Structure 1
Amino acid sequence: MAGPSRISSVVNFLGSMRLAVSLLVLLAIASVIGTILNQQQPYEDYALKFGPFWFDVFRDLGLYNVYRTNWYLAIVGFLVLSTSTCLIRNTPRMIREMREPDTAMASAYDPQGMANKTEIISSLPMDSATQMVVAVLRGRGYRPKLHDRGDGGMVILGRKGRYSRIGYILTHAAIIVFCAAALYNADIPVKLAMLTGSTQPENNFHIPLSKVSKNAWLPVGNPAYRGTVTVPEGQSTQVAYELVGNGYLVQPLPFRIKLRRFHVSYYSTGMPKDFISNIVLYNDQGKVLKEANVRVNHPLSYEGVQIFQASFVDGGSLLKMKRYMLNNPSAGAIHQEGRVGQSVDLSGTTYKLKLKNFSLDNVVPAAAIESVPAGDQQHINLGPSFTSIAQSGSGSGAEFKTYMQPISRGGQSYFVQGVRTAFGTPYQYLFIPTGPNGSIGLFMKYLSALQKQAMVNKSENNKSYVLNTFRQVIARDAPSMTADAEAAYFQSAISAILQLKAYPVPFIVTLTGFDHRWAAGLEVTKWPATIVIYWGCAVLVLGIFILFYLPQRRLSVVLRTLTEGTEVIIGGTSSRNPYEFTKEFDGLVTRLRSVLRNQDDQKESNDG
C-alpha cells in the first residue's frame, strides 16, 4: 500500500494549485529580469556596467541569458508537468459534470449552505409544486434534474452555464502550449551538444570567419535559433552569431543577406525616430529571393526565418584627419586617413590611434554649450564627431571625442574635443579657438611662435612677451581680424594653452572630412513554434472569456410534504459575479411565489 500511496502523494503535489502558482511567480520574476536586463550582450559590456563582483554573481546565476538557463528551463518543464497533471486529473470529471450533474452528490447540494436561500410554503400538493418549480427553472434557462430524497421529499437540481468548465480546460491547455513552445524554442539540442562537448563556443572575437573552429558552427538545419549580425552598407553575410557566455556560435543561414541602403531619422532632441534597412536575400546561385525594407517591429520573413531591425552602428566610415604635434607645432598639419574599427599608425610617435566610432549627428541641449537657440529651438546639432583611443607602446593613453565643426560660444568659435584618461569617467572638454578659416592652424602658429621665443629668451616670460608674440602672429597670418575679435581670440588662446598643460598626449587630431557608411544590426530568428504560440494565445483568450462571461450558476430546490401543502426551500450560488446572481435569484423567487400561490401562508427566511 505504501507504493500507491506515495504515487498518489506525488500526483497530488504535481497537480496542486500551490505548486503551479509558485512556478508562475518564479517565471514572472525571471521574465522581469530578462526584460530589464539586456540579454545576450558581450560579457565586457556587463563587466563595465556592474563591476567585477556583481558581474561574477550575475554570470553564475545565468542572468545574461535567462531564457536559456537550465534553471529557467527546469521551471518551465515543471510547470508543463504540473499543469498537465492537473488537466489529466480533472478533465474527465469536468466532462461528466458538463454532460450530467453528479447524482451521487445530490444530497450535498443543501440549500441552507448556499449564499442565497429562501423558504416558501405552498398550498399545492407535492406533485403540482414540483411541476411548477420545474417549469419556472426551465423558463429561466436552467436544466432541472429531479432526485428522490428517500424520505418522501424531492430535490430539484438546476444548473446554467455548464460549459464554463471548458474555460478551465482551455486556459490550462494554453499554458501547456506556451511552455512546450518555449522549451522547443530554447534550442535544447544545442545545449545537449554543448554538454557532450561536440559543440563548443569560440571565444576569440577578432579572428576571421574562416578561422573559427568547426566545433563552433551550428548545423544549417538547426530547428530553432536566435542570432545577431552586423552588416555594413553594400556588404552581405550568410551567417548569424549566437552569443553564448563569453563566446559565440556561428549559425549558417539558408540565404545571403545584403544591406543595400540604410536610413535613420531623428527627433529634434537627437533621439532616433526611425531607422530602415533595405535588405535583399539571395540564394547560393545569386538569385534574388526577397527584397524588403526592415524597420523596428516590421521584420522580414522568409521560409520561417525572421529578420528584425535591432540597432545601427558605423559600418567602417573613412575618416580624413589632420594631426598637429604639440611638441613641434611648426611642423604643420600631418594628413591621416583611417576607417572606423581600425587603428592608424602615428608616424614620429609611439602611439597608435584606434578609430572607435563615428557619429554623423550630435544633438545636445543648447544650454550645455552656453549657446542661445534661435526661436523655440532648445537643441542644436554639433555635427559629425568621432571617438578614438590613443595608445602608446608603454600602455599609456586616453580616449577622445572630437567634433568636426567649430562651436560658437560668446561670439568666438572653438574646436572642441572631449578627453578622458579612464573609461567610464566624464569627458573633460578642451576648447581651442579657431581662426578665420575655421581651423586651429592659427592657434598652432601662435603656439609655435611662443615656443620659439621661449627658447631664444627663457627669462622673458611675462604677459607683455606673450601678447607681443600674439600680435606678431596676427599681423602676419590674420591681418583682417578686428580689434574686438583679436582681443577675444587672445583670451581664448591663453585659456587653451593652460588647458593643454594637462593634455595626455603630444598631439591633437582634428576631423576634416569623411566618407560615411552605416551598418545595420540585425537579429535573425527561427522559431517554428511561434505559430503554436499564436494559437495558444487564441485558446487562452477564448478560455478566459468563457470563465468570466459564462459563469456556472447552481440552484437546489428541496420539496417536503406538509400536512396542508408543500414546503419549498430554494438555494442558489454562482461561480462569478454574485451581485448579478442575487438580482437573478430574487427575480426567480418572486416568480416561484407567484406560481405557487403562497401569498397568504408563506414563511420566508432569506439570509441572502
Structure 2
Amino acid sequence: MGKQSFWVSLMELLGSMRFAISLLTLICIASAIGTVVGQADPWVNYVNQFGPFWASFFEPMGLFRIYNAPWFIAVMAFLVVSTSLCVYRNTPKMIKEMRVYRENIRENSLRAFAHRWEGRFKEKPSELPGIVTEWLEHKGFKVKQSVRDNGTMVAAKAGSANRFGYIAAHLSIIVICIGGLLDSGVPLQVAVWATGKTPVTGAEITAGIPEKARLAESNPSYRANLLLPEGETSRVAVLNTDDGLLVQDLPFELTLKEFRIDFYSTGMPKLFASDVEVFDPDTQERFEATIEVNKPLIYKGVTVYQSSFDDGGTKVQLKGIPLTGERDYRFDLDGVVGGGRDLSQLQGDLSRDLKVEFTAFKSINVEALPVDNADQVSVDDLALGNADALSPFETNLASVLGPGVKEDAKTKFTNIGPSITYKLRDQAGQAREFHNYMLPINLDGGRYYLAGVRETPADGFKYLRIPVDDNGQLEGFMRFRAALQNDEIRRTAAQRFAQQAFGDRPDSAQLVASVADSAQRALERFAGLNNSLSGLPAIAQFIESTVPEGEREKASDVIIRLLQGAMWEVYQLSRTTANLPPAVPDEVHGRFVQDAQIALSDLSLYGAPVMFQLDQFDEVKASVFQLAKAPGQWIVYLGCLFLCIGVFSMFYIRERRAFFWVTQDEEGSKVMMGMSTTRKTMDFEKEYEQFVNELNSRAAPKAASAGDAV
C-alpha cells in the first residue's frame, strides 16, 4: 500500500501544473543566461570577461555550454514528462467538457447565475423552445433541448474550441522540447557512444585526423565549426567537446574564394560575407554562393552560417629591435600568424632563450582618440617619488586606448593602422603578450609608436609611448637608448654638461669635476647599472634611501636637473656617432628628449629584451563558419505553430454558455435565462446586454425583468 501510494504521489507531482511551471521557469532563466553569456567560446574569452576565479567557478556549472549541460537536458526531459502527464490526465476531461451541453442543469442552479434574466412570452411552451433554438443558432451557438415534466431546458454553448488552446499550448511545449533535445548534444553523445568514437587533442589532429575521432556524414545531428582561410578547401568541420575535439565529415567540399568586410565609422564590422564554392563529390555538381550573417547556405540538410572571421595565416615581416646592451642594430624576422619562431640562435644582447608566437594581426584598428591635447606627465613628477607616478604601468605606461582617455574628453574615431600581437615565451614556459602598432600615432600633441604589454589575458594592454625622431622613425630613440648604455658616452656626456654649465666660472675645475661625477652617477643609476631598478624609479629609490625626508624635494630637484642636462648631451652624442649634425636646442628636440627619457625609464617595466616592429605583411583572411545539421528544427517549428494556435484559442476564443428554462404561464410561456463564461470580459458583458435587450424587445410588455448578480 505504501509503495503504491509513493508512485501515485510521484505521478501527482510530475503531472502537477506547479511542477511544470517550475521547470519552465528554470529553462527560461537558463535561456536568459545562455543569451547573455557567449556559448562554446574559447576559454580565454571567459577568463577575459569574468576573471580566472569566476570563470573557473562557472565552468563546472555548465554555464558556458548551457544548452548541452546535463542538468539543462534533464530539466527539459522532466518538462516533457510533466507536460505529457498533464495532457494525458486533462485532455479527456476537456474533450468531454467540450461535448457536454449541461442540459440537465436545475432551475435552482440557474437562479444562482450572476447573469440572469426572466420574462414572459405570448408563445406557447411547445413553440417557444424552437424559436429560442433558432435564435441562438443564428448567433453561432450550438443548441440542445431537454424536455422535462414541468418545462423545457434549452442549453447552448459557443467557443468550446477555447479548450483546444490549452491542449495545443501544452502540446507545443512537448514538441518544442523534443525538437530541442534532438538538436542538443544528446544525439551526438549517443552517436559517439554507439560508434566507439573518442575525442582527441589538437596535437593529434595536427599529425593527421585519426579514425577514432572522425564522425560519418550520416551523423544525424551536430553543430560544428570551420575556420577556412581564403583560397583553401575543406570537407571536414570540428566539434569542440569537454574532452577534446571530434572531426565531422561533410557531404560536400567548401572553398572560400574571397572574404569581404565593411566597417562602421566606429570600427565595428558592418557587413562581412564569404564568397564560397561548393562541390558535391556524389553528383560532381559545383556551384558558387555567398554566405552572410543571417543569410546562411543550406545544402544536403547542412546549414552553413557565417559566424565570424579571423586571420587565416597572414605572413608578416618584422624588425627585431633589442632593448638591452649598447649595440644599436636591427634584425629581420619572418613569420606566419598562428605560428612561431625560435630566437635562441640570435646572439649578442638577447641573452635569454626565447620563442616568439604570433597570435593575431589586424590591418584596421579604429579607436576613439582624444581630439584635444591632454596634459603631459612631467619628468619631475615621475622622479619625485609620487605614488601614482611610480606605480607600474598605471602612469608610466600610459593607457591611451582605454582608461588613458578622459571620459569627458572629445574623441574621434580614427583608423590608426595595422597592428601585430605576439607572445614572448621563455624556457620555463612563462610568456608575456605584446601588441605593437605599425605606424606612429598622434597623441597629446606628439607622435608616438605604441608598444603594448600585458601579463595575462585577463589584463588589458598598457602601452609604452616611444617618440618618433625627425624622420618619423624609431631610429632616433634606439640610438639614444644604446648610447645611454655606453660607458664612454655617459662619461663624456657628464663632462660636457658640467663644462657647459659651470666651465665659465673662475676656479671652476673642482666644481666641474664634482658636477660631472654627480651627473655620471645619475646617468648610471638611470641606465640600471649594478641595480635591479632602472630609470626614474631607480632615481627615486636612491633619494628615498640616502636623503632625509625633509631634504628629498630639494635633492630631487638637483638630481633631475643634472639628469636632464646630461641626457641632452647623451642625445647629442648619439647623433654624433651616427654622423648626424647636432640637434638644435628647440622645443621639438627638447620634447623628444623628455618623452624619450620617460620611455627609457619604462623599458624595465616593459619586461622584454627585444621589441618587434611590423615592417611588411601579406594579409590572409579567414571565415569562421558554423555548420549545423538540425533534425529538430522543423519539429520546433511545428511546436511553435501549436503554440500560436494555443495562444490564439485561449485569448481570442471565448467559451460561453446560455440556458433557457421555458415553463407554462397563464397567458403563454415564462422564461428564465442564464449566461456564464470561463473568463469574464467586457465583450461578454456587452454580449449579455445585447441578449437582454433583444429578449426585452420580444417579451410581453411590462413582464420582463433582468436579474442582478447574486
Same fold (TM over 0.5): yes
Asked if the contact 2:116/2:707 (under 8 Å) is kept, the reply is yes
Secondary structure of 2:29's match? helix
- Per mean C-alpha deviation after superposition, the further-off stretch among 550-559 and 517-526 is 550-559
**In the alignment, does 2:227 pair up with 1:126?**
no
Instruction: Give the partner amino acid of 1:525.
Output: A
Among 436, 447, 466, which residue is 1:432 paired with?
466
Aligned to 1:386: 420
- Tell me, yes or no, if structure 1 residue 67 matches structure 2 residue 67: yes
Indicate the SS of the match to 1:144: strand
Residue type of the alignment partner of 1:467: W
1:443-463 residue CA offsets vs partner (Å, 9 max, x unmatched): 112222333234655843444
Consecutive unaligned residues of structure 2, counting only runs of 5 or more, are: 375-404, 495-516, 524-561
Whether the 8 Å contact between 2:103 and 2:144 is mirrored in structure 1 is no
* Matched length: 601
Matched, 1:250 2:257: no
Equivalent-residue separation in structure 1 for 2:614 and 2:324 (angstroms)? 20
Residue among 267, 270, 274 paired with 2:271? 274
Q: How has the CA–CA distance of structure 1 residues 240 and 606 changed in structure 2, closer, same or farther, with 3 Å as cutoff?
A: same
Q: Using a 3 Å threshold, how does the CA distance of structure 1 residues 428 and 88 change in structure 2: closer, same or farther?
A: closer
- Alignment match, 2:530: none
| 1:286 to 1:518, Cα distance in 2 relative to 1, 3 A | farther
Structure 2 vs 1, CA of residues 366 and 45 (structure 1 numbering), >3 Å: closer, same or farther? closer
SS, match of residue 258 in structure 1: strand
Change (3 A) 1:53 1:380: closer
Question: Is residue 143–residue 158 contact of structure 1 (8 Å, CA) maintained in 2?
Answer: yes
Structure 1 residues 354, 105: CA separation in 2 closer, same or farther (over 3 Å shift)?
A: farther
Letter in 2 for 1:356: T
Q: Is the 8 A contact 1:129 1:596 kept in 2?
A: no
SS of the residue corresponding to residue 126 of structure 2 reads helix
Cα separation, partners in 2 of 1:58 and 1:529, compared to 1, 3 Å: same
Contact 1:432-1:496 within 8 A present in 2 as well = yes
Could you tell me which of 181, 184, 203 is aligned with 2:182?
Answer: 184
Structure 2 counterpart of 1:180, one-letter code: I
Distance change in 2, residues 1:114/1:299 (3 Å): farther
> Per-residue deviation at 1:307?
0.6
**638, 641, 656: which one aligns with 1:538:** 641
- 2:570 partner letter: T
Aligned to 1:325: 322
Q: Which amino acid aligns with 2:264?
A: Y
Matched residue, 1:17:
17
* 1:488 paired residue among 550, 566, 591: 591
Contact 1:132–1:595 (CA under 8 A) maintained in structure 2? no
Tell me whether 179-188 or 509-518 shows the greater mean CA deviation.
Answer: 179-188
CA distance in 1, matches of 2:108, 2:591: 97
Maintained 8 Å contact 1:238/1:256:
yes
In structure 1, the residue corresponding to 2:605 is in which secondary structure?
Answer: coil
Q: 1:231 aligns with which of 228, 232, 241?
A: 228
User: Is residue 2:363 matched to residue 1:363?
Assistant: no
Offset at 1:339? Answer: 0.9
Residue 605, structure 1, aligned to residue 602, structure 2? no
* Residue identity opposite 1:200 in structure 2: T
Q: Report the CA distance shift for 1:489/1:69 in structure 2 as closer, same or farther (over 3 A).
A: closer
Instruction: Give the match for residue 152 of structure 2.
Output: 154
Deviates more, 1:284-293 or 1:71-80: 284-293
Root mean square deviation, CA, Å: 3.2
Deviation string for 1:107-142 (max 9, x for gaps)? 499434544222334465433443443343233222
**How far does the alpha carbon of each residue in 1:512-570 deviate from its partner, in whole angstroms, 9 at most, with x for none?**
11111111111010012312322332333233223322222211222344556544222
Do the aligned partners of residues 300 and 58 (structure 1) sit closer, same or farther apart at CA in structure 2, a change above 3 Å counting? Answer: same
* 543-552 vs 53-62, greater mean Cα deviation: 53-62
Q: Which runs of 5+ in 1 are unaligned?
A: none
Name the SS for the 1:126 alignment partner: coil
Distance in 2, Cα, partners of 1:104 & 1:71: 50
Q: The residue matched to 2:707 in structure 1 has which SS?
A: coil
| Equivalent runs, 1:26-175 vs 2, <5 Å | 26-46=26-46, 49-50=49-50, 54-95=54-95, 98=98, 100-103=99-102, 106-107=105-106, 110-122=109-121, 124-150=123-149, 152-175=150-173
**Equivalent residue runs for 1:302-317 within 5 Å:** 302-317=299-314
Is 1:465 aligned to residue 566 of structure 2?
A: yes
Quote how far apart the aligned CAs of 1:56 are: 4.8
User: What letter is aligned with 2:630?
Assistant: W
Q: How does 1:543-562 map to 2 (within 5 A)?
A: 543-562=646-665
The alpha-carbon deviation at position 7 of structure 1 amounts to: 7.0
> What secondary structure does 1:366 align onto?
strand
Q: Counterparts of 2:43 and 2:470 in 1: how far apart (Å)?
A: 48
* Corresponding residue for residue 541 of structure 2: none
SS in 2 for 1:568: strand
Percent identity of equivalent pairs:
31
CA distance in 1 between counterparts of 2:573 and 2:69 reads 71
Q: TM-score, normalised by structure 2?
A: 0.77
Candidates 568, 579, 582, aligned match of 2:671: 568
Q: Which residue type is aligned with residue 602 of structure 1? A: A
Contact 2:230 2:312 in 1 (8 A): yes
Residues 355, 299 of structure 1: alpha-carbon distance in 2 compared, 3 angstrom cutoff: same
1:378-431 deviation per Cα after TM superposition (whole angstroms, max 9, x unaligned) = 211111111111122244542211011101234432111112234422322211
Question: Partner amino acid for 2:485?
Answer: Q
Give the distance between the partners of 1:405 and 1:224, measured in 2 at CA: 48
Query: Structure 1 pair 24/273, CA: closer, same or farther in 2 (3 Å)?
Result: same
Which protein shows a greater Rg?
Answer: 2
Matching residue within 386, 397, 400 for 2:434? 400
